[in-house]
Chain A
Amino acid sequence: MRNGGNRAVPSLFVIRGNDQGTRFELEEPILRLGRDSSSAIHVHDTEVSRQHAEIRRTNGNYTVSDLDSSNGTFVNGNRISRHLLASGDQVQVGSTLMLYTGRSDEADEDLEMINIAAAEGSQDSSRIIRSVSQEQGSQIFAPDAEFSLNPWLARARSNLQVMYRTALAVSHTLDIDQLLQRIMELIFEWVEADRGCIMLVDPQTKLLKPMVRRTRAGVPSDEEITISKTILDYVIERNEGVITSDARQDDRWDSAASIVQMGIHEAICVPMQGRYDVVGAIYIDTSTSPEEIIRKGKTDKFTEDHLKLIIAIGHQAALAVEDTRYYSAMVQAERLAAIGQTVTTLSHHIKNILQGIRGGSYLIEMGLTDHDETVVGKGWKIVEKNQNKISALVMDMLTFSKEREPDLSKANVNRVAADVIELMQGRTDELGVELVWQPADEMPNMMFDPEGIHRAVLNVVSNAIDAAGENKPPGRVEVSSCYDAEKSLVQIVIEDNGPGIPPERMDELFSPFVSSKKGRGTGLGLPVSQKILNEHGGRTLVDSEVGRGSRFTPEMPAVAVI
């Protein structure tokens, strides 16, 4: 279902979101899209409903229907309830953006059947009959008086403009295979080619590698496409597009036996010039049969206008390939940086825990040697505290990394919050922070995951205490709960009089492994809280002022006990 390579199958390719880079191939007649792990299109996005949308096949095409999701389904930026998908449509659910590619008319063709033939021993007797530099090709849309006089050129121009727009739209895709497939389709729409292929220069080996091949319906697709290496080298090195033909230009050969016997083979080969380099080449060819020559006389199927057109397409495709490669490299770099940051933060935190355990053990050993129970007790307290720290860290990491459903049971938010307050008492005493708890008078039992919410509230309260502890005395943290029956909402308000959060830090507040606690924090507390609340359909509101303190309000829908 995922990450397949069969381009003939319609697919949704994730171009933004947690599943970026994943391709969901649409092979079943009905597919569910949602956060639920049983969904055929399982999206790891907390803003996506469990059963968010349905993708249904009708007459070979797919229709997306929203299943009354909380945040809606969007196609090309518009909220839809049902929409017939067309290739290039962008489907957005939550923060996940996917690109739809419909069924290709042609089956996947064998890329092995493309042969780049060396000059020697080549069967191809084609030679270059015309060439156009890349710059000239790109000037295809320059105003030209001739265009308005010649209806064919005027039509061609308008066609080209349409194609250019399409090519521009295609340049937004982040999937190179899909992009090249689309480019090839466009070329076949506008040029009467029999066969075509796109080759990209492998960034490592610098060799041309066939990426896409296409054959017009009715033309045998099992024949090898032979491309002269001499011509390819010419195109790449000189950055010029060429038309080649094996027909003799000499008029005396017009009806000569050789042409009538063999037919004529014409080809266009253009460089794919990006911003900096030639990233590949596009090749198309066509053959005119002897019968056709006898019927119509010798005509050139490929003209200079075709050549210019393909050069323009090649340029667009190259820019898109460069963009996509650059983007992938950036995503990769960001991922590596994120991994680096994660490892640094975690090792720092674990190092501190290890230091604590060593300290505690040292005291225990010293106490045992000296037969001093007080010192043993002191040491044991430190060891125990660090055991709790590592256990909390592991729990946070598990909560953060695992996709899970809240374990709903009947519970009371006041009870859960009161437990957190009790647990934090020792810490507030240590830091000289006053902790005040004001439960709501009315707080019905409701369905939620008490352990999860306990963890979510604990992380926020613990942060508030740390923040208030930085204050010159008296540090103060006030926790209150609130139930809004009308909105069916439950909130826990946690206010501290700590230093407050600078506005520039607000955006990274819920980013994992970003801690402002100078090495004391794992950077997992708030992201974990937020994740748990999101899993409950809730969120955490934050309000903070530097110098005055912060107010965190975790809230979630009050789900009545059935």
Chain B
Amino acid sequence: MDEQQSVLIVDSSEETREVLQTALERRGMRIFSAAQVGFGLELARRHHPDLIVLDLELDESSPEHLSAPFAEQAGADHASLVVLGSVRRRNSCLPNAEFVAKPYHYAPLIRKIEELLGRCAMGETGPCRRCS
């Protein structure tokens, strides 16, 4: 029925990429991962993932500037965007993104990713408005 859902992880921490990839792959998702913004954006444009996890502390100098093209791509693909880091929604120009402050726990983060992908208990497909 459903195509395999895909998640793009853009995070400079190899550990975070590994933990998320292991956990999400076990949930049947296809994972793309990038350590750098440039390559991440390339993957986003090539594979149109259903959800992008973006660590905004890749480069603290201009997080907004870095995240804008991802937000644009996510918008075009009707994909969800999860932003990790210290930026809060009220300070952000990404109104549709989900913000998770660091240091975060993985279990709630993965639950949130699942919810955004419509894998919540309601069994809906597509982005779950109720949970997001």
Listed stretches B2-10, B11-19, B70-78, B124-132; interface member: B11-19
- Interface flags, B78-100, vs A, CB<8A=1, else 0: 00000000000000000000000
Chain B residues near A352: list those with CB within 8 A: 13, 103
**Residues 499-521 of A at the B interface (beta carbon under 8 Å):** 518-520
For A, the interface residue count at a CB cutoff of 8 angstroms equals 22
Taken together as a complex, chains A and B put the C-alpha atoms of A351 and B57 apart, in Å, by 12
Q: Does A458 contact B (CB under 8 A)?
A: no
Q: Is the CB of B12 within 8 A of A520?
A: yes
**Also in contact, A360 and B15, with CB within 8 A (given A351-B103, A354-B103, A519-B57):** yes
For B, the interface residue count at a CB cutoff of 8 angstroms equals 20
Chain A residues near B59: list those with CB within 8 A: 518
* Closest A residue to B36 using CB positions: A470
Contact of B19 among A354, A360, A430, A520 (CB under 8 A): A360
Taken together as a complex, chains A and B put the C-alpha atoms of A362 and B21 apart, in Å, by 12
Q: Is the CB of B14 within 8 A of A359?
A: no
Chain A residues near B60: list those with CB within 8 A: 518-519
Q: Is the CB of A359 within 8 A of B57?
A: no
Q: Is the CB of A359 within 8 A of B26?
A: no
Q: Is the CB of A382 within 8 A of B13?
A: no
Contact of A355 among B13, B14, B22, B58 (CB under 8 A): B13
Taken together as a complex, chains A and B put the C-alpha atoms of A370 and B22 apart, in Å, by 12
Chain A residues near B39: list those with CB within 8 A: none
- Interface flags, B25-47, vs A, CB<8A=1, else 0: 01000000000000000000000
Chain B residues near A430: list those with CB within 8 A: 14
**Also in contact, A362 and B16, with CB within 8 A (given A355-B102, A370-B26, A519-B60):** no
Q: Is the CB of B103 within 8 A of A355?
A: yes
Q: Does A385 contact B (CB under 8 A)?
A: yes
Q: Does A168 contact B (CB under 8 A)?
A: no
Taken together as a complex, chains A and B put the C-alpha atoms of A520 and B57 apart, in Å, by 10
Chain B residues near A358: list those with CB within 8 A: 103-106
Chain A residues near B19: list those with CB within 8 A: 359-360, 362-363, 379, 382
Q: Is the CB of A375 within 8 A of B12?
A: no
Chain A residues near B102: list those with CB within 8 A: 351, 355
What is the distance, in angstroms, from A203's C-beta to the closest C-beta of chain B?
A: 37
Taken together as a complex, chains A and B put the C-alpha atoms of A268 and B60 apart, in Å, by 62
Q: Is the CB of B13 within 8 A of A378?
A: no
Q: Does B121 contact A (CB under 8 A)?
A: no
Q: Is the CB of A362 within 8 A of B15?
A: no
Q: Does A411 contact B (CB under 8 A)?
A: no
Q: Does B68 contact A (CB under 8 A)?
A: no
**Also in contact, A382 and B12, with CB within 8 A (given A354-B103, A366-B26):** no
Taken together as a complex, chains A and B put the C-alpha atoms of A224 and B1 apart, in Å, by 100
Taken together as a complex, chains A and B put the C-alpha atoms of A382 and B13 apart, in Å, by 11
Q: Does A356 contact B (CB under 8 A)?
A: yes
- Interface flags, A353-385, vs B, CB<8A=1, else 0: 011101110110010001000010011001001
Contact of A385 among B15, B16, B103, B107 (CB under 8 A): B15
Q: Is the CB of B103 within 8 A of A362?
A: no
Q: How many A-B residue pairs have CB under 8 A?
A: 55
Taken together as a complex, chains A and B put the C-alpha atoms of A379 and B20 apart, in Å, by 12
What is the distance, in angstroms, from A302's C-beta to the closest C-beta of chain B?
A: 65
Chain B residues near A359: list those with CB within 8 A: 15-16, 18-19, 106
Chain A residues near B106: list those with CB within 8 A: 358-359, 362
Chain A residues near B26: list those with CB within 8 A: 366, 370
Chain A residues near B14: list those with CB within 8 A: 430
**B contacts with A: majority SS:** helix
* Closest B residue to A374 using CB positions: B22
What is the distance, in angstroms, from B105's C-beta to the closest C-beta of chain A?
A: 6
Taken together as a complex, chains A and B put the C-alpha atoms of A378 and B105 apart, in Å, by 17
Taken together as a complex, chains A and B put the C-alpha atoms of A301 and B57 apart, in Å, by 75
Chain B residues near A378: list those with CB within 8 A: 18, 22
**Residues 460-514 of A at the B interface (beta carbon under 8 Å):** none
Chain B residues near A519: list those with CB within 8 A: 57, 60
Among A355, A356, A363, residue most surrounded by chain B Cβ atoms (within 10 Å): A355
* Closest B residue to A352 using CB positions: B13
Among A362, A375, A519, residue most surrounded by chain B Cβ atoms (within 10 Å): A362
Taken together as a complex, chains A and B put the C-alpha atoms of A378 and B26 apart, in Å, by 14
* Closest B residue to A379 using CB positions: B19
- Interface flags, A409-436, vs B, CB<8A=1, else 0: 0000000000000000000001000000
What is the distance, in angstroms, from A357's C-beta to the closest C-beta of chain B?
A: 9
What is the distance, in angstroms, from B104's C-beta to the closest C-beta of chain A?
A: 7
What is the distance, in angstroms, from B94's C-beta to the closest C-beta of chain A?
A: 20
Chain B residues near A518: list those with CB within 8 A: 12, 57-60
* Closest B residue to A351 using CB positions: B103
What is the distance, in angstroms, from A369's C-beta to the closest C-beta of chain B?
A: 10
Chain B residues near A354: list those with CB within 8 A: 103
Chain A residues near B16: list those with CB within 8 A: 355, 359
Taken together as a complex, chains A and B put the C-alpha atoms of A520 and B14 apart, in Å, by 12
Taken together as a complex, chains A and B put the C-alpha atoms of A386 and B57 apart, in Å, by 19
Chain B residues near A520: list those with CB within 8 A: 12
**Residues 47-73 of B at the A interface (beta carbon under 8 Å):** 57-60
* Closest B residue to A348 using CB positions: B57
Chain B residues near A362: list those with CB within 8 A: 19, 23, 105-107
Q: Is the CB of B104 within 8 A of A355?
A: yes
* Closest A residue to B109 using CB positions: A362
**Also in contact, A382 and B22, with CB within 8 A (given A351-B103, A352-B13, A519-B60):** no
**A-B residue pairs in contact (CB < 8 Å), sample of 30:** A351-B102, A352-B13, A352-B103, A355-B13, A355-B103, A355-B104, A356-B13, A358-B105, A358-B106, A359-B16, A359-B18, A359-B19, A359-B106, A360-B15, A360-B19, A362-B19, A362-B23, A362-B107, A363-B22, A366-B22, A366-B26, A370-B26, A379-B19, A382-B15, A382-B18, A386-B15, A430-B14, A518-B60, A519-B60, A520-B12
List chain B positions with a Cβ less than 8 A from chain A. 12-16, 18-19, 22-23, 26, 57-60, 102-107
Q: Knowing that A362-B106, A366-B26, A378-B18 touch, tell me 13 more A-B residue pairs with CB under 8 angstroms.
A: A351-B102, A351-B103, A352-B103, A358-B103, A358-B105, A359-B16, A360-B15, A362-B19, A362-B23, A362-B105, A363-B23, A386-B15, A430-B14
Listed from nearest, the 6 A-B pairs whose CB atoms lie closest are A359-B19, A362-B106, A355-B103, A354-B103, A356-B15, A382-B15
